[in-house]
Structure 1
Amino acid sequence: MSYKRRNYSGLFQGKPVNRFQSIPGININIDTMKTIGSLYLLGPFLRALGIRDIVDRIVPMKRNVEGGLTHGQVIEQLVLNRLNDPCPLLYIEEWAEARGVLELYGIPPDKLNDDRVGRALDAIAPYENDIEEAIVLSVLSRFGKIDTDQILWDLTSFYFEGDYDESELIRLGYSRDQKKDKKQAVVELNVTAKGGIPLCHRLLPGNASDQKEALKNLETLKKRLKKKDFLIIGDRAMMTKPNLAALLRKKMKFLGPLACKDREFILSFPEEQFQPLAYTSAKGKGGYSGIDTTYSFTHDGRHYTCRAVVVKSEELYEQQRKTLDKQLDKIAKRLDKIKGSLNIRKFKNREYVIGQINKAFEGHGNLRPLFDISLEGENGSLDLSWSYNPEMLEQQHRLLGKYILATSLARATHDANQVLEGYKSRHRVEARFRTTKSTLKIRPVFLQSDDRIRSLVLVNIIALIVYALIEYVCQQEGLAKSAKQALFMFRMPAIVTLTVNGQVVQQIGNIKPFMHDILDALKVKPMELANMDTG
């Protein structure tokens, strides 16, 4: 049965440019031109990584079912879509038509309909961990220079549209995107500190506790990497006192900011004890100083001690000072307004006035000690006075721009500057989350099945691995600053159908020399047409 082509050119736009010089005696007509863009790079790279083969090995199919299209082939196309031109699953068929999947892979686009895609997602769901582990181990084997001695850990949330009353994953919880009215799921991700290569992820319920998941994550990582002597770099959620106590008991390597501010500990160090640190950000900003010291605490009746670096950032100080000034000004204006309304209508009542004063500090209860407030008199003859508490205000300013980094790293091997530099590498895991949400467009998601949600997240993680590897290699070779730039450089390749002296010929055109430089760096061969006539 032949495949009937449909015209989807309006959904996926591409504007390749190809020019042919007229050659005497040769008549060339361009019949059609179909932009494949970054598929010219992504196709052979996914093949080299063995994505399709890994899925088919772990989730095999019986022969002669699903029209001969394996789950591995479907998942491969979903990963390609995430990286090339992400769209809702409903439109994968249209994307495949517009991007020449038939010509490149021999897969008729109508075989990638939403029902077939859904069945593939259902099939791989029970094996998501096995598939990810096999891909990660394949990557580590192929790219032997990837350093897994330092690993960055973080969590993010992504929201869902719909009720999801029966879902075990989709729950209301703390939203990192300020979407408090949306149900969500939480994705936990571990990436290498150098290169930001994803190593392991977990999909958690939307109401999962960051603090409780941190230690579970370590056990998952140890099984995945088959080692335990790695340094885990996390955020405040990882560095609660219970977690820190567990890390010390297990003799794990760790680095991260303490969850608690510990005012007394920070205030115990005079300003003159802070020594300049050489660290500068990627944007060239410095202004850091620190104190290399020891932090002690008690948990469940046991005493613990670890190394700590108290860091002060001038940039962070200015940001927090401006925020504090705005908050204090807002509270002061609210108190003055209450004072001006005293003994009028509701403000004659003492209890009502006390309630209004409390409302002035809503969301900023920690700033209450900075104010000395006095409410005198009886109902109808109240008098309110307030002023800043100079001692508490001075202490608050001394806390600004400062945080405590707790670590197991020895001073003999890592000075305070290296500790700060290690912590600042966390921007790589944050960048991977931004890529997942923007470039790969993991959300919003409308799937109604937990299994399909898990599988689609896995597809995005696989795409993120590919994205990170392209970036890693291109940066190593000086070919591109980012994966986004590298993929953009491949925007022009197209499948061109020509009529040459009456004979129809198909070829991939708009190929530039720099594209082969990137392909060579990734150690893959150029993309070819599945049905190309090489004779």
Structure 2
Amino acid sequence: MYLRKIQRRNKDGSVVRYLQLAHNRRKDGTTQAEVLVNFGREDRLDVDGLRRLVASINRYLGDEDDAAAPLGAEAGPLTVESSRPLGAGWLLDGLWRLLGIDTALASRIGGRKFRTDIERTLFALVANRAIAPASKLAAADWAIFDQVIPGLQTLAEQHAYRAMDLLIEADTQGAVQEAVFFSAAHLLNLEVDLVFFDTTSTYFERDEADDPDGEGSSLRQYGHSKDHRKDLPQIVIGLAVTREGIPVRCWIWPGGTNDQTVITEVKDGLRDWRLGRVVTVCDTGFSSEANQAYLRRAGGHYITGIKMREGSNLADQALSRQGRYQQVRDNLRVKEVRLDGDDGRRWIICHNPAEAERDAARREDQLAAIREELGRIKAARGADARKTKAKAVKDGKRPAAPSDTPHRKAECALRDHPALGRWLKQHPTTGRLSINTAKVAAEARLDGKYLLATSDPDLSAEDVALGYKNLLEAERAFRTMKSTLDLRPVYHRLDERIRAHVLLCWLALLLIRVAERRTEWTWPKIAAELGRIHQVTLSGPAGSLQQTTRLTDTQAKLFKDCGVSLPPKMSGLKTPE
């Protein structure tokens, strides 16, 4: 006679276990288990009832002394000391070590000794950006009380700031980023023949910018805000990524920096890494003649967008060239043309039929709104004139000209509208507004089209177009940094802390991009699934240990796909001295 456990799996993947009292009996030459009593589900078991049963059996057997103490009394009851999420942090730590970031930081920080583990502190800050972004003070509490960070015993706010300072000291000329990227590139077998570069801005919660020549930060300055917060000082961030979206390197400049002035620094920084033959892909904001010439230095090449509006001579030439479009995909056609003064450059016109329809529909909606507003203003002007005339007739006076001030204000507001004003022209004599039909016709020629220039003689027109479309990976990286990683707003005051904050976000972006690429899941979905894995600390008179909650098949597969070992079922066993 013995206690037997059986289990069954539900449709949702959960496992339910049952406890039975059984004994074996022989039937037809085979031994079969016969169930005598079903005690029910293990998680709903009447443990005290079992203890009473054991005690009564022991009394019958004459073992009253052993039965006097309840089951497990020798060791005493176990107490749950804490329960903290483990899964997402364990995955990030596994990728952190797999990519060699721990060794890269150790080699750059040097052999200096500190009371705290700088590498573990930096990992905790990076994991915080990926899982639950917060301030450095909140991150220190989070890493100790709200999340399991493998290998981290203690963390205070001053430790976090000290680690950030050391990170920036070690990243002179991008040394840490270089070591980390080449380790990741070797592990993931990344292709770095195309490097996509773009910039964005992020703002500070502060009303005034710093004086560049003063004692404050030289980075926080006013400029063109891509976050639509021109009322706040900001910094400009540059980011280079591979075609797979893996970040290569980041740069930080003062908030008033113009995009056209940063390409030389980007080119020189990547050239020192000796990446080999690299084609730099950037958008129209970096397409000046000087930048294109600089990108071709030392055998480099570029793919860049060219502005087709604002009266561009290149756009007029390209559109006037005859030729047949080549179908690349359902939503993309390309045509290579030759322009005057090519100077080794190639020109490709890209046409997106679906986008052309959207451009036409958007323009027609705006023109309809303009016609409606102009009609309303004209009707209001006529109504005012009739009222003035009727009042003059009633009073027996000569009609005076009605006031035109309200209508002029309405027209001025329409002319200054950020979206509608571009379609209007003002009559030189009357000052009245009307739709600029020439502008409408010129814009209609550009529906769904964009112009690319490249210096690479070997890439096909199709490869150039598809390569430029992958520039969306840089934009997606910025969206992830600003939303998932909470890059903004920034509250740091010192330049070194500002740079360290951005670099921590860069490291977090690298980890989650690798996780997404290996699992084909989005990071929020990965973090939510693995966040259900907890590490429970149990303690009793015999000591304490940590036990990991049971993993589902889905959770185990996420670790396996990322090449990270599963969390241990039990760890941290401590016994009294």
TM-score normalised by the chain length of structure 1: 0.79
> What is the identity, as a one-letter code, of the residue corresponding to 1:186?
V
> What is the identity, as a one-letter code, of the residue corresponding to 2:164?
L
Secondary structure at the aligned position of 1:295 is classed as coil
- Whether the 8 Å CA contact 1:51–1:72 is kept in 2: the answer is no
Return the match for 1:506 from 546, 549, 552. 546
Show the counterpart of 2:116: 69
CA distance in 1, matches of 2:294, 2:545: 66
- Whether the 8 Å CA contact 1:58–1:127 is kept in 2: the answer is yes
CA distance in 2, matches of 1:251, 1:51: 31
Cα deviation code 1:383-435 (max 9, x no counterpart): x766556555323311222210111243x641x33322111111211111111
Secondary structure at the aligned position of 2:167 is classed as helix
Show the counterpart of 1:133: 178
Structure 1 residue 148 corresponds to structure 2 residue 192: yes
- Whether the 8 Å CA contact 1:105–1:529 is kept in 2: the answer is no
Secondary structure at the aligned position of 2:572 is classed as coil
Structure 1 residue 189 corresponds to structure 2 residue 252: no
Give the direction of change, closer, same or farther, for the CA distance of 1:406–1:368 in structure 2 (3 Å limit).
same
Give the direction of change, closer, same or farther, for the CA distance of 1:448–1:526 in structure 2 (3 Å limit).
same
CA distance in 2, matches of 1:421, 1:292: 14
Show the counterpart of 2:467: 422
Show the counterpart of 2:530: 490
Show the counterpart of 2:163: 120
Show the counterpart of 2:260: 211
Show the counterpart of 1:408: 455
CA positional deviation for 1:203:
0.9
Show the counterpart of 1:5: none
Aligned ranges 1:16-415 → 2 under 5 Å: 21=42, 31=80, 32-60=82-110, 62-63=112-113, 65=114, 68-101=115-148, 104-108=150-154, 112-128=155-171, 129-143=174-188, 145-162=189-206, 163-165=208-210, 166-193=216-243, 195-224=244-273, 226-248=274-296, 251-261=299-309, 263=312, 265-267=314-316, 269=319, 273-279=323-329, 286-296=330-340, 304-332=343-371, 341=381, 344-345=402-403, 347=405, 360-362=414-416, 371=425, 373=427, 375-376=429-430, 388=435, 390-410=437-457, 413-414=459-460
Q: RMSD of the TM alignment (CA)?
A: 3.6
Secondary structure at the aligned position of 2:286 is classed as coil
CA distance in 2, matches of 1:57, 1:250: 30
CA positional deviation for 1:88:
1.3
- Whether the 8 Å CA contact 1:492–1:510 is kept in 2: the answer is no
Show the counterpart of 1:441: 486
Larger Rg: 2
> What is the identity, as a one-letter code, of the residue corresponding to 1:187?
I
CA positional deviation for 1:271:
10
CA distance in 2, matches of 1:174, 1:530: 54
CA distance in 2, matches of 1:124, 1:529: 34
CA distance in 1, matches of 2:421, 2:209: 39
When the two structures are aligned, how many residues end up with a matched partner? 480
Give the direction of change, closer, same or farther, for the CA distance of 1:509–1:356 in structure 2 (3 Å limit).
closer
CA positional deviation for 1:237:
1.3
CA positional deviation for 1:91:
0.8
Percent identity, please: 22
Secondary structure at the aligned position of 2:343 is classed as strand
Cα deviation code 1:328-374 (max 9, x no counterpart): 445555655666649533659xxx96x98666433669977874735
- Whether the 8 Å CA contact 1:294–1:305 is kept in 2: the answer is no
CA distance in 2, matches of 1:371, 1:83: 50
Secondary structure at the aligned position of 2:347 is classed as strand
Secondary structure at the aligned position of 1:94 is classed as helix
- Whether the 8 Å CA contact 1:125–1:454 is kept in 2: the answer is yes
CA distance in 2, matches of 1:434, 1:515: 27
CA positional deviation for 1:263:
4.9
CA distance in 1, matches of 2:271, 2:97: 28
CA positional deviation for 1:223:
1.2
Give the direction of change, closer, same or farther, for the CA distance of 1:106–1:451 in structure 2 (3 Å limit).
closer
TM-score normalised by the chain length of structure 2: 0.73
CA distance in 2, matches of 1:71, 1:33: 26
Cα deviation code 1:487-534 (max 9, x no counterpart): 333122111234699764422223234444343443333345996239
> What is the identity, as a one-letter code, of the residue corresponding to 1:493?
I
Give the direction of change, closer, same or farther, for the CA distance of 1:79–1:60 in structure 2 (3 Å limit).
same
CA positional deviation for 1:84:
2.4
CA distance in 2, matches of 1:365, 1:499: 66
Cα deviation code 1:297-319 (max 9, x no counterpart): 5xxxxx73521111222232233
Cα deviation code 1:466-502 (max 9, x no counterpart): 111122222xxxxx33333333331221112346997
CA distance in 1, matches of 2:444, 2:426: 17
Structure 1: gaps spanning 5 or more residues: 1-16, 280-285, 298-302, 377-383, 475-479
CA positional deviation for 1:87:
1.6
Return the match for 2:516 from 471, 479, 493. 471
Cα deviation code 1:162-211 (max 9, x no counterpart): 24522111111111111111211111000111x21111111111111111
Higher RCO, 1 vs 2 (CA within 8 Å, ≥6 residues apart): 1
CA positional deviation for 1:296:
3.9
- Whether the 8 Å CA contact 2:357–2:448 is kept in 1: the answer is yes
CA distance in 2, matches of 1:332, 1:59: 65
- Whether the 8 Å CA contact 1:152–1:232 is kept in 2: the answer is yes
- Whether the 8 Å CA contact 1:310–1:402 is kept in 2: the answer is yes
Give the direction of change, closer, same or farther, for the CA distance of 1:306–1:146 in structure 2 (3 Å limit).
same
Structure 2: gaps spanning 5 or more residues: 1-13, 18-41, 52-70, 211-215, 386-400
- Whether the 8 Å CA contact 1:506–1:532 is kept in 2: the answer is yes
Give the direction of change, closer, same or farther, for the CA distance of 1:442–1:263 in structure 2 (3 Å limit).
closer
Give the direction of change, closer, same or farther, for the CA distance of 1:361–1:215 in structure 2 (3 Å limit).
farther
